Structure 1
Amino acid sequence: MAKFNIFHQLIIISCLSSIPTVAFSVEFNTDMLDTKDTQNIDFSQFSQAGFIMPGNYHLTIKVNNERLGNARDITIGAPTSSEDSLFSVICIPAVITDQLGLKPEAIRLVKYRDNDQCMDLSALEGSTLSVDLSTLTLSILIPQSYLEYTDPSWVPPSRREEGINGFLLDYTLTGSFSRRDSGTKESYLSANGTTGLNLGAWRLRGDYQANYRKSSGNYNNEYSDAIFSRLYAYRSLANIASVLTLGENYFYSAIFDSWQFTGLSLETDENMLPPKLTGYAPEIIGIAQTNATVIVKSHDRIVLETTVPAGPFQIQTLDSSIRGTLDVTVREENGEEQKFSVTTAALPYLTRPGQIRYKFAAGKPRYDGRHLEGDMTASGELSYGLNNIWSIYGGSILSKNYQAFSAGFGRDLFTFGSLSFDVTQSHAKLLDNTLTGRSYRLSYSKSFDEARTDITFAGYRFSDETYRSLQQTLDERRTGTETQAHKESYQVNINKYFDSFSLGGNYQYNTYWNSQAEEQFGAYINTAFNIVALGLKNISLTASATRSKRSGYQDDAINLYVTVPFTMGSSFSFSEGYTKDQSGRRSSTHNVGYSGYSDQRSYNLNVGYQTGQFQDSQTSFSGYLSQNFPTASLSANASYVPNQYHTIGGSINGGITLVKDGIAMHQAAYGGTRLVVETPGASNVPLNGGVYQTNRFGLTVIPNVSSYRKTTASINTSKLPNNIEALESVTEATLTRGAIGYRSLNVIQGEKTFARLKLTDGTYPPFGASVRNKNNVELGIVGEQGITWIVGVMPNDLLDLYWGNKLQCSARVTEFKNGADSYPVLICH
């Protein structure tokens, strides 16, 4: 019966500790308790509405339910009277004033106290303050009329963070080895990625790439190189929504052809704007005949290298700032290569009324990686929104031997889409003559929602024979030979969506004044259907046809790919392919595959048969496996063609981030924004559904965080180890471009146990006394006869006991003594 009463009273105390704040004080009648020692009871912390024990607390600050940075040390004083508001006893750090997002007139109403270390928001009528010790949160509610403009999908500059200092290394390692039955061996290794330092608001970066090839047997050959393709530093400028870059850079223009240079640039960062004004990122679509490596280059710089299994692939991870022509190579495991180009297009240049978007660059042009050429060059472009309908834009490029000027307009056609038109005139001084010419461009974009049709980009461009871009001028002056002079260009991408299938098509046509035309087009269809008679559901079919004409040669390909679900997480696939290469050779492939997939793993087993002109028929066997780990993404592939060759290969894609609190390996972030999450003193804590897990330093890194957008990280409490309690399970951050963000989630690691607390004179602490650790986190509340349920205790921990609004004594966990009733005894000194 005694034990039942003790547990009953502990439950009462737990309920009292969670009573919400009310508007009046409470006088407790201790006669209600079934205990003899009613005088030795301390209910002081429950008797006053909103009462908080004075002291220092590590609290997360939230403004209108939006978290502000890391948890901070907050001092809570004792009220001098019952009339004191929380604003007068809680010290809100004055250093966070700028992060509140207050209007200038509201900032002038804020008062300060305690040598201007604490701010008082009581003058902002309607503002409230509350503390929730169960979640260690200090909540500030401020009426919207005092705040800057906010949007659920956009965070104002005052609440963005530059992050912390640190070192980063992101990498992609790829390797393969093949051996032909003729005795030839081929090895291939490559590494590329980004490394750098974050110092305050500055991001120092270096893009690197290295390659090694070796052939032995009938032909011996060895080649290797390693370079930094780009060294640069940049920082965000929030007050003008721009980014400043110093060093080696690319001028990706919406008006002119792109060019590379060493110098400085200043341009509007669209990611700082609301989502409706952000840009377009190019997409790479193709079909791999075997396990393949896809390499995407811009100006000979690798911007992406990844491995894909046999079948259709779609790459959507390219940076939205990339413009111009991208060179794509699909390297099959048998050494054959598919090459094609993707021209990225810009949306018609429309700008919000009264807003200015711009780019400016100055420096020396460069080529072939790090070589400088030509004279100092300045380039700029600007767009201004006149009203909701019209925008005007223009730009120029100025150097000693080249000048270009452009002007144009953008027009919102409302129901009929949007349109832009511009004219560019160039003046190029070559080695033996001077050329002046013009280029005209028309662009159009429209999404027909009711017809479920997107004309993603459509454009026409015509250039005079004497028109030259900056890069053409530089190349002709450096080599003394004439470059391809563009004449006409067409580009159209269309997608049509139906209930059960979708159609897509793209067409690109380029003609030149001094060379043969180039043409590239593709058509795609995707659908899903059921075969009820066979009990088959969600069968997917993808068909594509592509043609590429270049330099008088033509490549054709037709592919059909069918996937039939087998069990949950697995499927069979059947594919047919037909190709005709530039030499006129025809070949066909027939494949049957089995695939399995889960959240973090996928694999593919494939058997193929190929026939064609001027080649023997061949059977192939291949396999592909990819696995995402918290520390990296790995893939492995192998193939075998009887009597011809066998190949094995693999790739590792990941990153390393080093900060003052430790080091963590993680999945690749490609030099971009990332969030470091720490669970101090606790390892193996799962986050974001278990995708990430803290290491021995209590750190994990969430890569590829969206810049200037709110990011959430959460502890997966259902998968926590039994000896860990999460005091904070969710955190948020809004980081600037390239930042290393930092968040700390408070957890308690230790045992959970009942214990009997005693004082040195043999008596018990008062019923309701608070048991806390060194961080002032409450671990338990004392019950009758000292019985206390304590969580998060480790050997040798020092526990502090509070009652009567102050610290009374401390008990060392190592001083456990076995009591007669089996409860361990802690003596409080």
Structure 2
Amino acid sequence: MNTLPKNWRSIKSYLQRDIHALKGQLIVGDSFTPSYLFDGIEFRGIQLASDENMLPDSMKGFAPVVSGIAQSHAQVTIKQNGYVIYQTYVAQGPFVLTDLYPTTTSGNLEIIIKEADGRERRFIQPFSAAPIMLRKDSLKYSLTMGHYRSPYSHSRKPYFFQGTLIYGLHNNLTAYGGVMLSRDYQSMVLGSGIDLGNFGSLSFDATHANTQLLSDKKSQGQAYRLQSLKALSLTGTHLTVAGYRYSTKGFYDFDDANHADNLNGNNRLFGRINKKSKLQVQVNQILGDFGGLYVTAFQQDYWGQSGHERGLGAGYNMSLGGINYGLNYTYSRTPDSGNHDQLFSFSVHVPLDRWLKNSWASYSLTSGKNSPTSQQVSLNGTVLEDNNLHYSLQQSYTNQGDGISGNIYTGYKGAYGRLNAGYNYQHHGRQLNYGVSGGIVAHPYGLTFSQELGETAVLVRAEGAKGVKVANNTGVTTDWNGYAVVPYASSYRKNRVALDPHSFADDVDIDINTQFVVPTKGALTLANFQTRVGSRVLMFLSYQGQPVPFGAITTLEKPHDLDKSNSTIVSSEGQAYFTGMPTRGKLQVKWGFQNAKTCLANYTLPEKQTLSGHPLSGIYTMKVNCE
């Protein structure tokens, strides 16, 4: 039996504080520099930077979309700057990852696809935000001081200072600049972005860098970058990003400069070398009823290295009669050797709601230049009242090697976390995998277990109301004490938190079941619901043999005070309706001019009338004499 090494790696540990006056965040600890102008790097130190989450949604940045083709039930790992920032399992066939949020807004993503038989395929996807543009008089800034944290043991880890500033000079003109300073590296960037109206938008900048390499060799050079954005609304074409960068032979960015003399074969493959030029394009074409088409492509060249590093992804998707069809193609090529790989896939997804609710069947065919042809059929769906149990059954056939293989997977999303388990089988072995994930929140009222928290969350407090569902949040219900955590809340945005009244127990009443909260970034914000836990009671109150007068105010007494939240007005014939009533207690009744008349009524609820302890109607009915 093989025992795999266990390790723990924290991407970043830090203290964070909002600076509302500056629309920014103060961070002390481990984090990443912003990458508007320079490629983002990891550091340990202090940073003050504007936070785009405080801006309107229309001004927020983008996240890259990673697509590819898996030849089996595969693990996809995405690294940035040597660190794992995303990992998931995908089914055989084409996949698209849209929930990726890299630690910076530009740079290279290393995508590793590990197939079920252990084979690995790696490729690079450069990404960059749209051209740098701000509205008139808008400002984006960052100030960072600390020391560089590299994942590579032989890298230099100097102290540095980085400052960037972007300012909207006019509605269609933005200027920006920045500096990066350390003992052995100094660089400066200047540039501008311009809105060209019907021709889209364009940004251009130039960077000069002086570098002293690890070998004490001195070098200097320049890099020039051009980016454009264009959407052709009439044709439905969206040229999301088109970028080109050229660097002279002596130019190094900060990351490469600190380990450029420690290159090995693997590092050369993934950009640890003197970059020369990079061209990247992303295009989406909407075809109306005929679906949509996308193309992403890049080419990167290096000084002192022949050949090109290239990548191409293309796909076509359409829906006909509720059935979804897809064609996908990927191509990758490494420099020097000129080796390349390409994969093609066809897929069909058929909803089965007519026969099996919330389920669908899929078929995919995958074939590649250096890969066998494989076919897969699968059945997927969700069950349970809240659709929080997902299942997947897959069967595959490959014309070489493994032959027949398959897997079964199920995942349950509950109030206290997520559970998943899977079983894979193929020609050369079997594999069982399982996992559990969740969160633990310590707060002034105690300890609450939850699903994965995300960066920002909401603490629901409905004291004493257990098992209450939080609407629009799969599997989130209050615990035995009435607390729950809503994960992945939107910071600086109005979040609606609603409790499902159909999930209230017979002895729970909540007058207002919806609240709106606006959390700050990284905060745990309280949504406090006023609950009344107890029985529902309809009383017929009498005083001196006559019904208590209409309009009298009746209030439940607490040990040392009145429970004003549990107060009602007497209607005709002395009727008073209460919720959240204890088994026994005392009522204070007042009426007349300035409440001159007062009486007290002691009550004890009748014995249990059903197995659940509540009357058949859900309401106790009783006569009470007020003295």
Counterpart residue number, 1:45: none
For residues 102 and 54 of structure 2, what CA distance do their matches in structure 1 show?
Answer: 13
CA distance in 1: counterparts of 2:601 and 2:579, whole angstroms: 15
Mapped pair 1:780 → 2:564: no
How far apart are residue 492 of structure 1 and its match? 0.5
Report what 1:455 is aligned to: 239
Is 1:261 paired with 2:43? Answer: yes
Match of 2:322 among 538, 543, 548: 538
> Could you tell me whether the CA contact under 8 Å between 1:280 and 1:320 is conserved in 2?
no
- Cα gap change, 1:428/1:795 in structure 2, threshold over 3 Å: closer, same or farther? same
The structure where helix makes up a greater share of residues is 1
Match of 1:589 among 365, 370, 374: 374
2:114 to 306, 317, 331: 331
- Unaligned runs of 5+ residues in structure 1 are 1-184, 187-213, 215-221, 530-536
Query: Are the aligned partners of 1:365 and 1:372 in contact in 2 as well (CA < 8 Å)?
Result: no
1:824 aligns with 2:610: no
3-state secondary structure, aligned to 1:224: coil
TM-score w.r.t. the length of structure 1 is: 0.67
Helix, strand or coil for the counterpart of 1:652? strand
1 CA distance for matches of 2:500 and 2:154?
51
Match of 1:147 in 2: none
In the aligned structure 2, how far is the partner of 1:484 from the partner of 1:711? 46
Count of paired positions: 591
Whether the 8 Å contact between 1:728 and 1:747 is mirrored in structure 2 is: no
TM-score when normalising by structure 2: 0.88
User: Could you tell me how far apart the structure 2 residues matched to 1:286 and 1:813 are?
Assistant: 70
Distance in structure 1 (CA, Å) of the matches to 2:469 and 2:622: 32
Does the 8 Å CA contact 2:125/2:311 hold for their aligned counterparts?
no
* Aligned twin of 1:695: 479
Partner of 2:311: 520
- 1:369 deviation in Å? 7.7
Q: Select the structure with the greater relative contact order (CA < 8 A; seq sep ≥ 6).
A: 1
Contact 1:538 1:565 in 2 (8 A): yes
Structure number with greater Rg is 1
Offset of residue 789 of structure 1: 2.7
Equivalent residues in 2 for 1:365-404, closer than 5 Å: 365-368=148-151, 373-404=156-187
Question: What SS class does the counterpart of residue 354 from structure 1 fall into?
Answer: coil
1:484-542 CA deviation, whole Å, 9 max, x = no partner?
A: 1111100111110112211001001100002242111111111112xxxxxxx322111
Query: 1:738 Cα shift?
Result: 0.4
User: Per the alignment, do residues 827 and 310 of structure 1 end up closer, same or farther by CA in structure 2, a change over 3 Å counting?
Assistant: farther
Structure 2 SS opposite 1:472: helix
Report if aligned partners of 1:519, 1:548 keep a CA contact under 8 Å in 2.
Answer: yes
Picking from 286, 289, 295, the partner of 1:505 is 295
In structure 2, what residue type is equivalent to 1:658? A
Structure 1 residue 577 corresponds to structure 2 residue 362: no
1:82-121 matches, cutoff 5 A: none
* Structure 2 unaligned regions, length at least 5: 557-561, 609-619
Kindly state the Cα deviation for residue 247 of structure 1 after the two structures are TM-superposed. Answer: 1.2
Q: Is the 8 A contact 1:539 1:562 kept in 2?
A: yes
Q: Distance in 1 between matches of 2:41 and 2:330?
A: 29
Q: In the alignment, what sits opposite 2:18? A: 236
Structure 2 CA distance for aligned equivalents of residues 812 and 428 of structure 1: 87
CA RMSD of aligned residues (A): 2.6
- 2:441 and 2:155 mapped to 1: Cα distance? 32
Q: Does the 8 A contact of 2:538 with 2:575 survive in 1?
A: yes
- 1:538 to 1:492, Cα distance in 2 relative to 1, 3 A: same
Select the residue among 408, 411, 415 that pairs with 1:630.
415
- Note closer, same or farther for the CA distance 1:809–1:485 as it changes in structure 2 (3 Å cut): farther
8 Å contact 2:93–2:366 — kept in the other structure?
no
Check if 1:283 corresponds to 2:65: yes
- SS of 1:225's equivalent? coil
Cα deviation, residue 690, structure 1: 6.7
1:754 is aligned to: 538
Match of 2:345 in 1: 559
Tell me: CA distance 1:479–1:512, structure 2 relative to 1, closer, same or farther (3 Å).
closer
Identity %: 26
CA distance in 2, matches of 1:295, 1:548: 17
Amino acid at match of 2:465: A
> Would the alpha carbon gap of residues 286 and 704 (structure 1) be closer, same or farther in structure 2, given more than 3 Å must change?
same
Judged with a 3 Å threshold, the aligned counterparts in structure 2 of structure 1 residues 714 and 371 are, in CA distance, closer, same or farther, namely: farther
Q: Cα distance, 1:477 vs. partner?
A: 6.1
State the 1:451 CA deviation.
1.4
Matched AA of 2:88: T
Task: Quote the residue 1:532 is aligned against.
Answer: none
User: Aligned to 2:35, what secondary structure does the other structure show?
Assistant: coil
Aligned partners of 2:263 and 2:273 also within 8 Å: no
Structure 2 counterpart of 1:484: 273
Structure 1 CA distance for aligned equivalents of residues 229 and 591 of structure 2: 70
1:509/1:813 CA distance change after superposition, 3 Å: farther
Note closer, same or farther for the CA distance 1:769–1:590 as it changes in structure 2 (3 Å cut): same
* Equivalence for 2:507: 723
Q: Residue 493 of structure 1: which of 282, 285, 290 is its match?
A: 282
TM-superposed deviation, 1:620? 1.0
Q: Provide closer, same or farther for how the CA distance between residues 823 and 657 of structure 1 changes in structure 2, counting only shifts above 3 A.
A: closer
* Alignment CA distance shift 1:346-1:780 (3 Å): same
Preserved contact between residue 681 and residue 697 of structure 1 (Cα < 8 Å): yes
1:232-263 CA distance string (max 9 Å, x none): 11111111101111111211312222222211
